[in-house]
Amino acid sequence: MFFRRHKFIEKQRQKEEQMKSQFDNLSPILTENLETLRLIYSDCSDVVFRPFSIGEQFEAYIIYVEGLSNIEELDTNVLGPLMRESADADNDKDLNFSELVTKKISVSKIQEVHTFADCIEHLANGFPVMLVEGENSGFALGLAKWEKRSIEEPATESVVRGPREGFVETLGVNTSLLRRKLKSPHFKLKSMKVGRYTQTEISLAYIEGITDKTLIKEVEERIQKIDIDGILESEYIEELIEDNSYSPFPQLMTTERPDVAVSSLLEGRVVILVDGTPFVLIAPTTLFSLLQSSEDYYKRFMVGSVIRWLRYVLVFISLVFPSLYVSVLSYHQEMVPTNLIVSIAASREGIPFPALVEALLMEFTFEAIREAGIRLPKQVGAAVSIVGALVIGQAAIEAGLTSAPMVMVVALTGIASFTIPNYDFGFAIRLLRFPLTILGGILGLLGVMFGLLFIIIHLCKLRSFGEPYLSPLAPMGRGLRDVLVREPLWKMNTRPHLSGVYNKYRQAPHQKPEPKRGGETSD
């Protein structure tokens, strides 16, 4: 079966190559070009073939895709001037076709095409293609126009203080948002296309002189190896280029915020922008990058440090709180104060399930309510999440299916998980909570310790494009001060050392503000 499948794939590739070679270069005979294009776009009612004459010299056709091209500009700036060419034919009779087009039409972007592949590519991007009798080349006109979403604040990364703009589904808009913040010519964009049928455009963004060249080459090579029918979202790229596909932890950071992408570029990372999605990928990434919010740097450093430590504590609570509660309640009651254990035992009187089953039941219910709130319409989702949790929790307590302390544990765990800035990392924590709870219910605190050790060992082995996932904590590096606390901006003189050769200093030293005392004057 393997050899049969391999043989079938080879035949398909040979067939595609034969079709490409058959429809390679444009012919000087207009009818042959039109027959080929009509064959390629057979049963495509949105592809328009518009005949017209350029004076009395040339018979021509405009081919465009309805809904992707600007028809008004096409009529005004292309068809109108060229069809009125007969009035100026005496003055322009010595001009060839290319010179005539360049002189007569008022379109800023005109590109000459020589093959059918070029025609197909430009038509798919919304550029009308003009073919003329007697010419073995045509022109792609920069008159693309399609509907796009306006720039709004990202719903998943809202901030109190900071920019209110977010990426959209159009790649050109997203690159312009980055270019508006990075005005230096050292900001580079490399384009490539992935997907046999979708031909999705992908851009690699980096800053020359800051980003290590080996990192850029590695990212580029991994993307170029992708051979798939289509790319519909950046998750396709993420899953096909990450280091460890079986890890629950994300090895590329996703964001909808241009300011987060720019800050990552200034740290020497590579940003991957995919056409058709507002989520961009950042490589490499670390565990602590996923636990940081852009707002940490938009507040005073003392406030940012306190919030960062609060977030670390809540992430730990989100991971281990249910497993600790189940293990202590099942095997280590002597660790709980007497009054508290008596109160818990009284609340559990009449509960038909052991603590492990009770915790898994409540966790499953909470996750179901959260998922239902996401999938429902926005106006209904919030009400269902809040009312559903209250009603189901109270009903479960009154029915004797669960105890009030267990509802509190699950609710606090859920609230703690909401503080994780990165959604993918938060989902990994939610996923690992279930096996930890099972280990705590079977082996007690020993099972919880085994589970945590397994997670720590896995994190120590995990890498993102060669960068250790626990960097700069393990191995310990210079950026550790910006992990434990949020340093003042005037002390953040060096960039994180990701890998390879890097530009070490990002600002001049000794920038601590020191205003003059009263009575002193500057020279």
Question: What pLDDT score does 374 carry?
Answer: 78
Distance CA(450)–CA(306), nearest Å, equals 30
Question: What pLDDT score does 509 carry?
Answer: 82
Omega before 128 within 30 of 0, i.e. cis: no
Distances (CA, A) of 78 to 51, 142, 155, 171, 329: 13, 11, 42, 27, 79
Burial of 198 (0-12, 13-18, 19+ CB in 10 A): middle
Over residues 176-193, mean pLDDT:
92
**Each residue's pLDDT tens digit, 87-113:** 455 555 555 666 767 777 888 888 889
Tokens of 6: 């391999």
188 has pLDDT over 60: yes
Distance CA(504)–CA(320), nearest Å, equals 38
Distance CA(391)–CA(411), nearest Å, equals 13
Question: What pLDDT score does 414 carry?
Answer: 87
3-state secondary structure of 243: coil
**Do 414 and 420 meet the contact criterion of CB atoms below 8 Å apart?**
no
Least Cα distance to 270 among 235, 219, 233, 234 occurs for: 219
pLDDT confidence tier of residue 136, bands split at 50, 70 and 90: confident
Question: What pLDDT score does 54 carry?
Answer: 79
- Please report where in the chains the tokens 């800035």 appear, as a residue: 421
- Kindly report which listed range (225-239, 286-300, 387-401, 441-455) carries the lowest average pLDDT score: 387-401
Distances (CA, A) of 476 to 210, 469, 491, 497: 22, 12, 19, 11
Is pLDDT larger for residue 200 or for residue 501? 200
Over residues 355-367, mean pLDDT:
89
357 contact partners, CB below 8 Å, separation of at least 6: none
DSSP class of residue 444? T
Mean pLDDT over each residue of the chain, to the nearest integer: 85
Is pLDDT larger for residue 148 or for residue 232? 232
- Longest Cα separation, the chain: 106
Question: What pLDDT score does 501 carry?
Answer: 64
Over residues 334-340, mean pLDDT:
87
Over residues 275-279, mean pLDDT:
93
Question: What pLDDT score does 382 carry?
Answer: 64
**Each residue's pLDDT tens digit, 56-97:** 667 889 999 998 888 888 888 888 888 876 545 555 555 566
Question: What pLDDT score does 229 carry?
Answer: 92
pLDDT confidence tier of residue 21, bands split at 50, 70 and 90: very low
37 has pLDDT over 50: yes
